[in-house]
Structure 1
Amino acid sequence: MRWKISHHGHDPRQIDLLAVLALLIIIVAAYRYFTHSPEAARATAFIVPSQSVRW
């Protein structure tokens, strides 16, 4: 396929290249999102209500 440079529009291959790059970025972001393990809180405290509290 010959290069057809037009001054009034984009080359379809440029749009295809941008679409492929966008898909790769989305796939990598989704992979990182779903494989990310949340860190446990460092200062975890359980609040125990006292026996004198009336609800």
Structure 2
Amino acid sequence: MRWKISHHDHDPRLGDLLTIVALIILVVAAWHFFDTRSEPPSKAAFIVPSQSVRW
């Protein structure tokens, strides 16, 4: 059976292709996001204000 492609409308396979490419990009981005290990903040840089300070 041959594909029937109308010259007036978009090819429906193009939408499928774009959806697959978008899903691949989403999976790669999520994999990169969850694969990177973030360093815990150093305790020296975390300043806690005193309770006696009035703003």
TM over 0.5: yes
Give the corresponding residue for 1:4.
Answer: 4
C-alpha RMSD of matched pairs (Å): 2.9
Q: Deviations over 1:1-55 (max 9, x none)?
A: 42333222111111101100100000000000011112467xx6466x8xxxx54
Distance in 1 between the 2:18 and 2:7 partners?
19
Which runs of 5 or more residues in structure 1 are unaligned?
none
Give the corresponding residue for 1:18.
Answer: 18
TM-score, normalising length from structure 2?
0.61
The structure where helix makes up a greater share of residues is 2
CA contact (8 A) 1:5 1:11 kept: yes
Letter in structure 2 aligned against 1:16: D
TM-score, normalising length from structure 1?
0.61
Length, aligned pairs only: 52
Task: Give identity over the alignment, percent.
Answer: 56
Which runs of 5 or more residues in structure 2 are unaligned?
none
